[in-house]
Amino acid sequence: MVEKRILARVHSRFIVSLAYAFQTKTELCLVMTIMNGGDLRYHIYNVDENNPGFDEPRACYYTAQIIQGLEHLHQKRIIYRDLKPENVLLDNEGNVRISDLGLAVELADDQEKTKGYAGTPGFMAPELLKGDEYDYSVDYFTLGVTLYEFIAAKGPFRTRGEKVENKEVKKRILNDPVTYTEKFSENAKSICEALLAKEVDKRMGFKNGTCDELRAHPFFSSINWRKLDAGILPPPFVPDSKTVYAKDLDDVGAFSTVKGVNLEDSDKEFFDEFASGNISIPWQEEMIETGIFGELNVWGPGGTVPNDLRRESLLEQPKSSTCTIS
């Protein structure tokens, strides 16, 4: 329900778009942007198993697109909380979008911070792990972890394939410095360090309503941000349209199903909120720009309901008419 409500509010080429929401007798369904290229975790580890990870230009391109998506969410007062490579999806043309907003939280107008333990072990920011109040800064820590994994093909707080308990990962995030291999250029290391800063006031991110500070970092010197925003900056990798980018077909349809639960009337009322459909923001904008919205919403004097929308007039039977043909 949270994901549906938030997706209905956002409109960015860097976040999956919600086209429609409906329910069947057994399932809640979200109709969203098709992303045939698979998730970035698969591309890091499974496309070229002998050489996992991305080269720096590719990691830079994806990170730039993620920043644009995060900025849009944060300008809408939404904290994402679950950024990681498997939640970043690739489309047919090689561009990425943020997906899976089920853990996102929306700040009220008078609210600057929130509390709550949410996210994925190994990605959660120190302030969240300590139970402190936090703001959008947690998303830039997860961005640092994600960028590190793009390049190193492992997380910054554990080696690939290492079996380690969550409490040990938490301890490393809170206390251990991050080490960098020769895969990281000076600029890549610099941006990761700025994003993975354990102290919030030292972490780069969303400042004064924008991500301008991040965009100005030398790591992104090759990015033309205006072209990126317009969707005309050529991507470094274009997926093969005939390839399924998943380990097996079951991964494509990983939907959750709960059986043996009887819904009461209050539950049904709750789920009825989900099945409200959704008028996508591009469609809303088109209706306004073409004047259709104005034509369909003509009100009476002082904002009163016009005659053609009065309930009484809708219930009135039309007068019978006769027709003579000569």
Residue 303: inside a domain: no
**Is the pLDDT assigned to residue 309 strictly greater than 70?**
no
Residue 307: inside a domain: no
**Which tokens go with 99?**
């997906």
Instruction: Provide mean pLDDT across the span 285-309.
Output: 75
Of 186, 103, 177, whose CA–CA distance to 139 is shortest? 103
Q: What is the mean pLDDT of the chain?
A: 86
pLDDT of 256? 58
Residue 45: inside a domain: yes
Residue 323: inside a domain: no
Neighbours of 50 (CB within 10 A): 4
**Is the pLDDT assigned to residue 259 strictly greater than 70?**
no
Q: What is the CATH number of the domain that holds 137?
A: 1.10.510.10
| pLDDT tens digit sequence for 109-132 | 899 999 999 999 999 999 999 999
CB of 138 within 8 A of CB of 129? Answer: no
Residue 277: inside a domain: no
Sign, CA dihedral 96-101-102-104, equals positive
pLDDT of 326? 45
Of 14, 55, 17, 50, whose CA–CA distance to 34 is shortest? 17
Q: Phi and psi of 22, rounded to 5°?
A: -150, 170
Instruction: Provide mean pLDDT across the span 181-204.
Output: 96
**Which range of residues forms the domain containing residue 165?**
34-252
The count of domains in the chain is: 1
**Is the pLDDT assigned to residue 285 strictly greater than 90?**
no
Structure-model confidence comparison of residues 51 and 294, the more confident one: 51
Residue 141: inside a domain: yes
Residue 75: inside a domain: yes
Q: How far apart are CA 95 and CA 93, in angstroms?
A: 6
Amino acid type, 322: T
State the DSSP string of 50-117.
TS-S--HHHHHHHHHHHHHHHHHHHHTTEE-----GGGEEE-TTS-EEE---TT-EEPPTT-S-B---
Q: Which residues of 95-121 are buried (b: 16+ CB within 10 A; e: fewer)?
A: bbbbbbbebbbebeeeeeebeeebbeb
Instruction: Provide mean pLDDT across the span 230-245.
Output: 88
Q: How far apart are CA 37 and CA 51, in angstroms?
A: 19
State the DSSP string of 202-246.
GS-S-BTTB-HHHHTSGGGTT--HHHHHHT-SPPS----TT---S
Q: Phi and psi of 158, rounded to 5°?
A: -165, 155
Whole-prediction pTM value? 0.81
Secondary structure (3-state) at 8 = coil
Q: So which residues are the catalytic ones?
A: 82
pLDDT of 248? 62
| pLDDT tens digit sequence for 202-225 | 999 999 999 999 999 999 999 999
